């Protein structure tokens, strides 16, 4: 999909602010993503120091990078995805408007009729926060109108054009948790558990008359198109049975019945990184041809997985077994190969894509099978560890070994922003 240049819009007006919104998950708070936020800010400060001088002759304004941890859903995560997502959309818009208005003296407006601001936005949604963010996108317009006081006519106030940059999720149940629980449970029990977890539980287990998770995964105009407008989409996923709340298959929207192609990047020498899998962007019309008949429950899972894959994603599979503070237990020695060895051997056996020796192709069902097993029994607290959850002091201490993962994500995000918006200041 054609993307606008993120340095300038069609009129040549530079983008001077980039916002990164961090969204917490179930029973979380605005401190949950605190370590990631501090890591991003550290990366930004480092680049700002190196880019403190704007080259002579350029007309670009210096670009601020602003992080904001959403607060609207603190202690309010049980009333459903739609309500929480609507609160988030309102907070994001209000934050941008208030920040823009408070910085108009610092950030020069474009002298164009009518005057306009241009900013770009990115999201990192953790767990349920990723679903809140996906819903919020359906409500956030492409342009915001700055608010005027009584002394200024509304028509003379500048507007804010929003350019979408990076949409990231960490351990988000993109397909819900129906048929995606850590241990398989009967559908009857899923209905019972969903009722105990109130409206959000009914959404996640897909037991309401309106199946919101299904709609968010298949309705192109309302939910998928806004997501497709981001320059990059990335999902961080816990592999090898380390995540009790959000197992691998739903975090990476994989299906054991899907042959959707994933392309595996060349191995990267990072201890916790198992694989990076990418899907190509395909137009929704091509996907529609596969699913003309009425779907069974198994087939709806494939449809949801496929339509999300067709947006084009980067899926990062993480192994946090060495970072869980409670030691795991190795399974009997007759299992000669570890889970990572099995994956390495499998990927070596796969066909080369496009003649590139470093690019292998696998299918969704391959990843679902290879990433969902383990050669160890570990306490499945990867959900908290991977994001270095810092919603409280005790959580921060318990999850501190997961900080390298969030440092890696922060470094990647800021590098991407630097390439898209070369001039940044603190």
In degrees to the nearest 10, what's the CA dihedral of 378, 382, 388, 394? -60
CA distance 167 to 122: 6
Q: Provide the pLDDT for residue 337.
A: 72
In terms of Cα–Cα distance, which of 110, 11, 116, 119 is closest to 63?
119
Q: What is the pLDDT along the chain (426 residues), one digit of tens a residue?
A: 333 344 444 444 566 789 999 999 999 999 999 999 999 999 998 876 665 543 433 444 467 899 999 999 999 999 999 999 999 999 999 999 998 888 754 444 444 445 677 899 999 999 999 999 999 999 999 999 876 655 445 555 678 899 999 999 999 999 999 999 999 999 999 999 999 999 999 999 999 999 999 999 999 999 999 999 999 999 999 999 999 999 999 999 999 999 999 999 877 889 999 999 999 987 555 555 544 443 555 588 899 999 999 999 999 999 999 999 998 888 776 556 789 999 999 998 887 766 566 678 999 999 999 999 998 899 999 999 999 999 999 999 999 999 999 999 999 999 998 887 654 444
Tokens encoding 251: 């975090």
Q: Provide the pLDDT for residue 292.
A: 45
Domains of the chain, by residue range, sit at: 17-425
Query: Taking the chain, what is the end-to-end CA distance rounded to the nearest angstrom?
Result: 31
Q: Provide the pLDDT for residue 55.
A: 43
Q: Provide the pLDDT for residue 155.
A: 56
Tokens encoding 7: 């340095």
Contacts for 111-116: CB closer than 8 Å, 24+ residues apart = 112/11, 112/13, 114/155, 114/156, 114/158, 114/159, 115/158, 116/9, 116/11, 116/13, 116/158, 116/159, 116/160, 116/161
Q: Provide the pLDDT for residue 224.
A: 95
The three-point CA angle 106-111-114 to 5° equals 110
Tokens encoding 376: 């160890």
Q: Quote the pTM value.
A: 0.90
């Amino acid at each position: 999909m054609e993307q606008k240049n993120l340095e300038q819009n069609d009129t040549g007006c530079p983008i001077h602010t980039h916002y990164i919104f961090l969204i917490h998950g179930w029973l979380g708070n605005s401190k949950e993503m605190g370590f990631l936020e501090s890591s991003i800010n550290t990366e930004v400060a480092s680049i700002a120091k190196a880019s403190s001088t704007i080259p002579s002759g350029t007309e670009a304004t210096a670009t601020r990078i602003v992080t904001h941890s959403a607060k609207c859903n603190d202690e309010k995560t049980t009333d459903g995805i739609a309500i929480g997502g609507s609160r988030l959309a309102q907070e994001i818009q209000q934050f941008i408007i208030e920040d823009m208005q408070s910085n108009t003296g610092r950030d020069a407006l474009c002298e164009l009729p009518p005057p306009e601001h241009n900013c770009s936005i990115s999201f990192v949604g953790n767990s349920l926060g990723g679903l809140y963010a996906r819903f919020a996108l359906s409500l956030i317009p492409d342009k915001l109108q700055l608010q005027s006081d009584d002394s200024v006519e509304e028509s003379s106030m500048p507007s804010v054009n929003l350019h979408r940059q990076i949409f990231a999720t960490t351990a988000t149940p993109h397909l819900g948790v129906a048929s995606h629980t850590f241990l398989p449970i009967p559908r009857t029990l899923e209905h019972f558990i969903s009722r105990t977890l109130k409206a959000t539980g009914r959404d996640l287990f897909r037991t309401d008359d309106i199946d919101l998770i299904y709609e968010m995964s298949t309705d192109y105009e309302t939910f998928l198109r806004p997501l497709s407008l981001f320059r990059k989409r990335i999902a961080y996923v816990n592999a090898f049975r380390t995540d009790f709340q959000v197992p691998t298959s739903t975090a990476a929207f994989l299906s054991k019945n899907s042959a959707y192609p994933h392309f595996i990047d060349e191995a990267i020498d990072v201890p916790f990184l198992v694989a990076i899998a990418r899907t190509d962007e395909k137009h929704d019309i091509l996907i529609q041809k596969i699913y003309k008949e009425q779907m069974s429950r198994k087939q709806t899972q494939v449809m949801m997985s496929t339509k999300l894959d067709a947006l084009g994603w980067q899926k990062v599979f993480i192994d946090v077994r060495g970072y869980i503070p409670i030691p795991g237990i190795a399974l009997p020695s007759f299992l000669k190969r570890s889970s990572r060895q099995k994956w390495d051997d499998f990927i070596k056996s796969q066909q080369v894509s496009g003649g590139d020796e470093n690019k292998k192709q696998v299918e969704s069902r391959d990843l679902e099978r290879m990433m969902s097993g383990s050669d160890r029994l570990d306490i499945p607290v990867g959900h908290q560890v991977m994001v270095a959850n810092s919603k409280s002091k005790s959580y921060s201490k318990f999850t501190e070994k997961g900080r390298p993962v969030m440092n890696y994500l922060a470094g990647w995000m800021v590098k991407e922003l630097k390439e898209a918006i070369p001039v940044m200041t603190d």
